C-alpha cells in the first residue's frame, strides 16, 4: 500500500492509503477531492498538476516529460495522471473544480496510464 497526503487551498488535508500502482489523480479523486483532469489522463491538459512536498518520483513518463518541456514547466509541477502511487507521497493539489470555477473535472481517467504516454 502507498500512503498519500493531499493538501490544497479548497479542501481539508487528507492522508489515506491506496494500492501501489494506482494513478495518483485517481487516488486523489477517490477521496472526494475535486481535482481537475480535463484531458482524461492523457498528459495533454496539465490541469491534474500537483507539487510534491515529499516522495516525488524521479522518473517521468515520456508523455509527462514531453508536455512539461513543451510548456517550459519542467521542474515546476508534476502531472498526477502520469504518476503511480508508491511509498509515501505528500502533494499539493494545484487545480480543482472549486478553485477554477469549472463545473466538470473532465473525462474519467482510465485505470492504466495510456500506452501513448509511455513512449
Ligand atoms: S494532463 Fe490532463 S489529466 Fe493529466
Cα 104 from Cα 93, distance rounded (Å): 16
Q: What is the pLDDT of residues 19-46, one digit of tens each?
A: 999 999 999 999 999 999 999 999 999 9
CB-CB contact of 36 with 102 (8 Å): yes
Q: Which residue has the cell 489515506?
A: 16
Sorted by where each begins, the domain ranges of the chain are 2-100
* Interacting residues of 28 by C-beta distance below 8 A, sequence separation 6+: 4, 6, 35, 50, 80, 91, 93
Q: Which ligand 1 atom is the nearest neighbour of the CA of 43?
A: 1
Distance of alpha carbon 106 from the chain centroid: 13
Q: In testing the pocket of ligand 1, which one of 23, 44, 95 has its CB within 8 Å of the most ligand atoms?
A: 44
State the CB neighbour count (10 A cutoff) for residue 110: 13
Pocket of ligand 1 (CB under 6 A): 37-39, 41-48, 79, 81
Q: CATH number of the domain at 2-100, please?
A: 3.10.20.30
**Nearest atom, ligand 1, residue 44 CA:** 1
pTM score, two decimals? 0.97
Q: What percent of the chain clears pLDDT 70, i.e. is strictly above it?
A: 100
Amino acid at each position: 500500500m502507498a500512503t498519500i497526503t493531499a493538501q490544497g487551498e479548497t479542501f481539508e488535508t487528507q492522508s489515506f492509503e491506496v494500492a501501489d500502482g494506482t494513478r495518483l489523480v485517481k487516488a486523489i479523486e477517490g477521496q472526494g477531492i475535486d481535482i481537475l483532469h480535463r484531458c482524461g489522463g492523457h498528459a495533454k491538459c496539465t490541469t491534474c498538476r500537483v507539487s510534491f512536498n515529499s516522495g516525488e518520483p524521479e522518473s517521468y513518463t515520456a508523455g509527462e516529460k514531453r508536455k512539461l518541456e513543451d510548456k517550459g514547466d519542467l521542474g515546476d509541477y508534476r502531472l498526477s495522471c502520469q504518476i503511480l502511487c508508491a511509498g509515501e507521497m505528500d502533494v499539493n493539489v494545484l487545480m480543482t473544480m472549486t478553485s477554477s470555477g469549472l463545473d466538470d473535472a473532465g473525462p474519467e481517467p482510465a485505470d492504466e496510464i495510456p500506452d501513448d504516454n509511455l513512449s
